């Protein structure tokens, strides 16, 4: 069915009046929105404003894929959700919120993880993808699926005070195809080099700003109004309020749609991002319960926390605080004769600290607390503050 056949009820015409009276938008823009199917990948920080504004704008079909449940640490930025929804699947809470906002739209839920196995099947029915995921494997998965399916991918990403937005794999009115994520970043950073938001943090309002800009681009892609960010890469630094727009181009060496493509189906993205590669050597690990046993039995060991001081202030296990960045210069504070247990928030930074110390100083008495302080809180002391 052509968008021109789309009809509106009196209630819808009243609701969308402020769109319809915009000269360059009109009833035609609104028809295109109602005819459109948009998939929002990730209903978190970026997905929250995206889903609210797409629903309010009258996008006819909205898909939401997310396998997570609402957690109290989400509420600082994920404005779709409220206290009553903690513990519920995000997609269901999101649907309730946006259908309460606009009952004239269809919402399809996928309470699962987007994988190489299901991505093409799920995404193929959609006209536009809005990528608001939180990890590199899914970023590359969404990118490659959008290229293989020929669907534009409106990209947004955030970290601490910084946001990025672009429109990838967009074919303009003249039939020219714009760049995609792999033109910009052919391969991902190795694990551990770039912290995730869960480790690095994010200012809560930032995904509100960046997710709204992302939604603006989704609406422009659907309606053809204005010039999209295809071929341009927008960055925003909230601290300096500096915005920049860079020119980006297709790269002939792009492995998925360059001159000699080597990828013609979805791959194992966990492996591609180095997340499944066996470590150089196994670290000695202990579980939270074992650590607790050592503490109860009075076993001699030193406990070192490699997180940042402000994290230590939130919650700590009484360990010696030596942030990861300064671990090597503090080598003389690390006991050489008894077992030394390292921990951080989730176990990643402490593993890095141990590898650095083993590599540089040949220490053999170092143990990593598996799952970090969060595992200790979950398994041993639930009364402590989670963050």
Partner 1 sequence: MATVIIPTPLRKFTGNTSKLEIKATNIKQTVDELTMNFPDLRKHLLDEQGKIRNFINIFVGNDDIRDLQKENTLVREDSIISIIPAIAGGTA
Catalytically active residues, by annotation: 197, 344
- Looking at the Cβ atoms of 67 and 294, the one nearer to partner 1 is 67
* Rounded Cα–Cα distance for residues 134 and 111 (Å): 16
> Min. distance of Cβ 265 from partner 1 in angstroms?
22
> Min. distance of Cβ 136 from partner 1 in angstroms?
5
Secondary structure letter of residue 134 according to DSSP: S
H or E element: which one contains 305? strand 301-305
Please name the residues in contact with 139: beta carbons below 8 A apart, sequence gap of 6 or more.
131, 133, 157, 181, 188
- Looking at the Cβ atoms of 34 and 139, the one nearer to partner 1 is 139
Beta strand 242-247 with 232-237 is: antiparallel
Cβ count within 10 A of residue 275: 15
- Looking at the Cβ atoms of 94 and 286, the one nearer to partner 1 is 94
* Rounded Cα–Cα distance for residues 123 and 359 (Å): 45
> Min. distance of Cβ 39 from partner 1 in angstroms?
14
Please name the residues in contact with 146: beta carbons below 8 A apart, sequence gap of 6 or more.
123, 129, 152, 153, 168, 169, 180
> Min. distance of Cβ 161 from partner 1 in angstroms?
5
- Looking at the Cβ atoms of 35 and 210, the one nearer to partner 1 is 210
Among 186, 187, 146, CA closest to 169: 146
> Min. distance of Cβ 123 from partner 1 in angstroms?
17
Q: How many helices (H) and strands (E) does the chain have?
A: 15, 13
> Min. distance of Cβ 194 from partner 1 in angstroms?
6
SS percent in the chain: helix, strand, coil, step 5: 40, 20, 45
Answer whether 58's CB lies under 8 Å from 15's CB.
yes
At CA 16, angle to CA 12 and CA 21, rounded to 5? Answer: 130
The dihedral through the CA atoms of 148, 152, 158, 161 has a sign that is positive
Answer whether 324's CB lies under 8 Å from 195's CB.
no
- Looking at the Cβ atoms of 210 and 319, the one nearer to partner 1 is 210
> Min. distance of Cβ 352 from partner 1 in angstroms?
12
Answer whether 338's CB lies under 8 Å from 299's CB.
no
- Looking at the Cβ atoms of 20 and 167, the one nearer to partner 1 is 167
Residue 47, helix vs strand vs coil:
helix
**Residue 161, burial from CB neighbour count under 10 angstroms (0-12, 13-18, 19+):** middle
Among 29, 104, 26, CA closest to 61: 104
List residues binding partner 1 (CB under 8 A).
42-47, 66, 68, 78, 131-136, 139, 156-162, 164, 184-189, 193-198, 200, 202, 207, 233, 235, 237, 239-240, 242, 244-249, 251, 325
> Min. distance of Cβ 45 from partner 1 in angstroms?
6
- Looking at the Cβ atoms of 10 and 239, the one nearer to partner 1 is 239
- Looking at the Cβ atoms of 82 and 190, the one nearer to partner 1 is 190
Ramachandran quadrant class, 274 (left: phi over 0; alpha: psi -120 to 50; beta: rest): left
């Amino acid at each position: 069915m052509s968008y021109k056949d789309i009809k509106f009820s009196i209630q819808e015409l009243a609701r969308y009046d402020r769109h319809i009276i915009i000269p360059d938008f009109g009833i035609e823009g609104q028809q295109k929105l109602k005819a459109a199917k948009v998939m929002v990948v990730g209903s978190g920080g970026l997905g929250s404003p995206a889903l609210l504004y797409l629903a309010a704008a009258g996008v006819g079909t909205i898909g939401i894929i997310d396998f997570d449940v609402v957690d109290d640490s989400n509420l600082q930025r994920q404005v779709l959700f409220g206290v009553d929804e903690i513990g519920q699947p995000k997609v269901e809470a999101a649907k309730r919120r946006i259908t309460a906002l606009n009952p004239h739209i269809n919402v399809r839920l996928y309470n699962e993880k987007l994988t190489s196995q299901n991505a093409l099947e799920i995404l193929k029915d959609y006209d536009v993808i809005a990528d608001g995921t939180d990890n590199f494997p899914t970023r590359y998965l969404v990118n490659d699926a959008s290229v293989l399916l020929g669907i534009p991918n409106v990209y947004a990403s955030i970290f601490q005070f910084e946001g990025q937005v672009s429109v990838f794999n967009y074919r303009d009115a003249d039939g020219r195809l714009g760049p995609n994520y792999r033109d910009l970043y052919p391969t991902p950073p190795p694990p551990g080099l770039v912290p995730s938001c869960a480790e690095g943090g994010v200012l809560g309002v930032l995904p509100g700003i960046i997710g709204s800009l992302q939604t603006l681009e989704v609406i422009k892609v659907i309606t053809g109004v204005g010039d999209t960010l295809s071929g341009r890469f927008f960055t925003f630094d909230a601290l300096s309020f500096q915005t920049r727009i860079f020119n980006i181009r297709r790269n002939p060496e792009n492995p998925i749609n360059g001159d000699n493509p080597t990828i013609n189906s979805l791959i194992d993205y966990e492996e591609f991002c180095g997340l499944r590669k066996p470590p150089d050597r196994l670290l000695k690990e202990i579980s939270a319960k074992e650590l607790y046993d050592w503490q109860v039995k009075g076993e001699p060991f030193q406990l070192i926390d490699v997180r940042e001081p402000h994290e230590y202030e939130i919650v700590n296990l009484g360990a010696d605080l030596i942030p990861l960045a300064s671990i090597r210069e503090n080598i003389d504070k690390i006991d050489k004769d008894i077992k030394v247990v390292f921990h951080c928030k989730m176990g990643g930074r402490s593993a890095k600290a141990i590898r650095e110390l083993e590599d540089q100083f040949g220490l053999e008495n170092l143990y990593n607390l598996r799952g970090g302080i969060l595992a200790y809180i979950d398994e041993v002391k639930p009364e402590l503050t989670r963050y």
